[in-house]
Amino acid sequence: MGGQGLKRTPLQEYTERLRREFDWITIVQTLVSYGMLFVFLLAPLASLVGRAFLFGGEFSLAWFVDILGSPEYVSFSSRGGRMFEVVRGTMYLWGYDHGILLNSLIVALSVTILCSVIGVVVAMLMGRYNFRGKNVFKVIILIPLLATPFINAFVIGKMFNPRGGLLNYIFFDLLHLLPWRVDIDGLVGLIVAQTLSYYPIVYLNVLASLNNIDPSLEEMAENLGARGLRLFRTITLPLFLPGLMAGAIITFIFSLEDLGAPIGFIGARANPLAKKVASYQIYSNFAEALAGGISPKTIALALIILLTTVVSYFIVKRITALRSYAMLSKGGRWSPRLRTPAWWIQAAIALSMLVLVLFAAMPQIGTFLLATTDWATSGTLPKHLTSEYFVSLSTNPDVLMAITNSLVYSLIAVFIMVIVGSSISYIVAKRDIPGRTVLDALATLPVAIPGVSLAVGYFLFFSSGWFRGSLFDPLVDPAILLIFAYSIRRLPFMTRSVFAGLQQMDKSMEEASMNLGASRVSTFIHIVLPLIVSHVIGGAILSFVYSMAEVSTSVTLGALREDRMPITFFISQMVYGLAAVGSVSIGAALCVMLMTVQITAMAISNYVLKQKVSFLGV
Amino acid sequence: MVEVKLEGITKKFGDVTAAGDVNLTIDDGEFFTLLGPSGCGKTTTMRIIAGLEYPDAGKVIFDDKDVTQLPSFKRNTGMVFQNYALWPHMKVSDNIAYGLNVRKTPKNEIKRIVEETLELVQLGGLGDRFPSQLSGGQQQRVALARVLVINPAVLLLDEPLSNLDAKLRVEMREEIKDLQKKLGITTIYVTHDQEEAMTISDRIAVQNLGIVRQVGTPHEIYNYPVDIFIATFIGRGTILEGQVRAVDDKARVMVSGKIICGVDTSSNLSDGDAAMCVMRPENFSLEDPGDAANVLEGTVEWAAFIGPYKEVKLNVEGRTVLVDVPPETPTGIGNKLRVYIPHSETIVLSKGEIA
């Protein structure tokens, strides 16, 4: 019988396939996803790129040549600063100024290396040893992940102040453990503040990788005679390396785009060296935006930062994809390799963990002290408790406005992310349409994009051309742009969570429904959504928390109109000291509120939805 | 109930042919089985009938209506998945009612049908449970009930018993067969288990590497396999290789200096061909059956007591022949045995590749 006469041409087949795949729900999902990613991600970035290469109306590399050639940005010899200098009983640790761009890279690399070392050590201790109090450490080790934008760096600056800083008081004046007071500030200050905040990211990624290693792989190596460092070097390290790289690249990106530490340090110490990083320079240029736009040099700087993060992100993603070994004996439950060492080793581990955790939790503890006592003005130690700062949260009209704004922005952003994020994940996980892989890449891209660069792109794209003077124009009203900035920046949290849910769902779940006569739309509503609803809610909670605590676009775009300011911009103003002395405590109180929201959200995620909070990673 | 026709169905996944020019006609009300080793394309063929996969070429026809391009939800087929695909977020009754809800059946009607169907599959009273609270066999019944309520034109069963233990498997296949007879529904069944296929089917299509090798009743497939793949895939047997000397009413094959006579079931042998004689162990006897029979003589190499019979490996001039003998037969290693197999029960096939 004739198979021949029934053959269709490849083109016919292709159009037939497209016709089958594109029912209306798929069309809507695809259009909405691409539309949002195009208008609020690609177009602004494109105008950032376009403008950075524009000089006198023509294509030119002038601004880049200018930046790379000017010692203000790149200088191989030191332009100032102090390092290991002891002057009148104080050791100064500030770092040397090598120009804005090099400073940024040096800080980001240092933070990445320090976080990697600490993260790996802690992950090995937590992942391979039993010791007393481990369960407590498991929780408190995550404290640095609690959002205390600006205030964390402010606290560190205050602690290391040679004049009355608490740490100097304890270790020099009280215990005489140090031969001099220590002054940590400037670039080193940024490194310390960022390392303490970000090492848990590396730790979590490495731990997840470690727990995913089939114990029999290490046991086999031991069986063949490898032990200790050799075992670690030849088996364990290569197997958790993808996790380490994932954590490290996120740390690098976070450090490069961070505004919290520079602003916090300047609030605490007013040392201009803390300003000499790219993120801060871009931020401070936004103040001029109201008057006459952003300078072309700033645009070029934003693009350089953007390219650095995006390129390194995709290189690392590529390498980790190649190095992610699927463990062969998947699915089976295995008991992890946990050793219970002698009591004195246990004690040593617990003690060093305690020191680390105390040190790392210092910003959060300090924030709490600032919010609940008079510590901001009392000197070395707080003198008395006060509730005035918390009270001001509900009485100060500016604070109330900032809280309301952030709530409104974040809630609308979450709504957008639920729609767009679920659509993207569904298309990527379950549908076979052209452009699927592009959609996947675009939805992951925001992880690699520095908020300050995105803010510059938004400003350029929406304050000119068609959008000039419209509600999208940040000079008219930044609210809509902030909502979309949050939606884009936090989208990966949403898509990752939903995608995980969809991958757990066998395709026969949908097929059974369609086989019984339900259309794709009806199947999506009655079968798919109920099966992934906990993942959608989990993603929504996470996105909400991180939208409320968003810094980069909030303090740049959010600065453009006072009645539209979000919480984080308000906190930055309090820390910066533009307001009255002691106002930093109001910022701290706001941070305590943010932390409470965050803890509540994580608890709901963990205990109600039974979802592991998804970590930041590649 | 419909007649299902596949015309020239072809489907490739990359370089792998899952269906190669499959032509089948499944009669109205027939219990039809697609049988083959794993990866032979039988599941793909079924998914093409269900509309979950679309062929690269060929047509799917339900009662003269071409449904090749029709999406699954417009075909009215009822598919039972290998993993049952019960929706974990719905109660048993909601799972079963799903197809009726989609069809906008009135609420009280739905309630009645669901109750009836639960009784039919012996799950009365379990409607309020969730799938996770049921045993494997019960889940299987829910999956069956879920497609039966919509009165499907064709019932599609994709290895439905493979997740059950051996005893339950036998019970369930009898139940399915009874149900199918009672409802008279055209049924297509996919399995790799030849015993299951033999006991349950009206007709069987044996598929290998995407190609349908033979279609026939269990009796035909077992006794008259058309090629060596089917002869070896189905049932036990010994193969003796030789060369065809003559083909008339019987095929005469020279096997190591001795002529063996048998039936040319594929009717494509000619003189001089390399051929294979297939002998089923249960067709041997210890006494001369009277009519024309091949006689083999050898020594016992190995023997196992099975119960109703003994399985014996006989060494016949260096070749091993598998023979069933009555359990009381003395079968010490080295014992001499002479066995007979009728010409009519010896199958002669051309020496094709055993794929």
* Interface touch A514/B72, C-beta < 8 Å: yes
Q: What is the pLDDT of residues B282-322, one digit of tens each?
A: 999 998 877 788 999 999 999 999 889 999 999 998 889 99
Q: What is the mean pLDDT of residues A106-116?
A: 97
* Residues of chain B contacting A13 with CB distance shorter than 8 Å: 56
Q: Which ranges in A293-433 belong to alpha helices (H)?
A: 296-323, 343-372, 375-378, 388-395, 397-430
Q: Which amino acid is at A608?
A: V
Pairing of the two strands B154-158 and B186-191: parallel
The rounded distance, in Å, linking the Cα atoms of A594 and A546 is 10
CA–CA distances in Å: residue A172 to residues A165, A178, A184, A360, B112: 10, 5, 14, 20, 84
Place of tokens 């979309």: A484
Q: Name chain A contacts of B97, Cβ cutoff 8 Å.
A: none
- Kindly state the percentage of chain A with pLDDT values over 70: 94
Task: Tell me the Ramachandran region of residue A456: left when phi exceeds 0, alpha when psi lies from -120 to 50, beta otherwise.
Answer: alpha
C-beta atoms of A516 and B59 within 8 A: no
Q: Kindly report, residue by residue over B237-285, the tens digit of the pLDDT.
A: 898 988 888 888 888 898 888 889 998 887 778 888 888 999 999 999 9
Nearest CA to CA, how far is B155 from chain A (Å)? 11
Which residue in the set B58, B88, B99 is minimally distant from A517, CB to CB? B99
* A2: chain B residues, CB-CB within 8 Å: 7-8
Output the pLDDT for position A317.
87
**Phi/psi at B26 (nearest 5 deg)?**
-110, 120
Interface mutation target, options A8, A504, A506, A516, chain B, most CBs of B under 10 Å: A516
Q: Does ipTM come in above 0.85?
A: no
State phi, psi for A594 to the nearest 5 degrees.
Answer: -60, -45
Question: What b/e readout covers B105-117, taking b as 16+ CB neighbours within 10 angstroms?
Answer: beeeebeebbeeb
- Cα–Cα distance measured from residue A543 to residue A539, given in angstroms and rounded to the nearest whole number: 6
Length reported for chain B: 355
Predicted pLDDT of residue A8: 62
The dihedral built from the CA positions of residue A7, A8, A14 and A18, taken in this order, carries a sign that is negative
Nearest to A509 among B82, B85, B103 (CB): B85
pTM: 0.84
DSSP-derived secondary structure letter, B128: T
- Tell whether the model's pLDDT for residue A324 goes beyond 90: no
Look at residue A617 in the predicted model and tell me its pLDDT: 47
Residue A209: predicted pLDDT: 86
Place of tokens 């090995």: A124
Q: Which two tokens stand for residue A10?
A: 């490849």
pLDDT number for residue B325? 93
Distance, in Å, from the CA atom of A146 to the CA atom of A152, rounded to the nearest integer, reads 10
pLDDT at A285 over 80: yes
Look at residue B353 in the predicted model and tell me its pLDDT: 52
Q: pLDDT digit string (tens) for A114-158?
A: 999 999 999 999 988 888 888 899 888 988 888 888 999 999 988
User: What does DSSP assign to residue A133?
Assistant: T
pLDDT value at position A609? 76
Contact B73 A518 (CB under 8 A): yes
Q: Are A321 and A110 in contact (CB under 8 A)?
A: no
3-class state of residue B122 by DSSP: coil
Over range A348-359, report the average pLDDT: 92
Q: What is the mean pLDDT of residues A239-268?
A: 91
Distance CA A222, CA A219 (A): 5
Say which residue the tokens 């109750």 belong to.
B115
Residue A60: strand, helix, or coil: coil
Residue A104 has pLDDT above 80, yes or no: yes
What phi, psi does A81 have (nearest 5°)? 105, 170
Q: Are B76 and A514 an interchain contact pair (Cβ–Cβ within 8 Å)?
A: no
Q: Whole-angstrom Cα distance, residue A547 to residue A91?
A: 39
Q: Could you tell me which residues are beta bridge partners of residue B7?
A: B59
CA A7 to chain B, closest CA, distance in angstroms equals 5
Q: How far is A530 from chain B (nearest CA, A)?
A: 7
| 3 state SS of A605 | helix
Q: Cite the beta strand spans of A88-157 per DSSP E.
A: 90-96
| Candidate from B59, B83, B103 with C-beta closest to A517 | B103
B69 and A16 within 8 Å at the Cβ level: the answer is yes
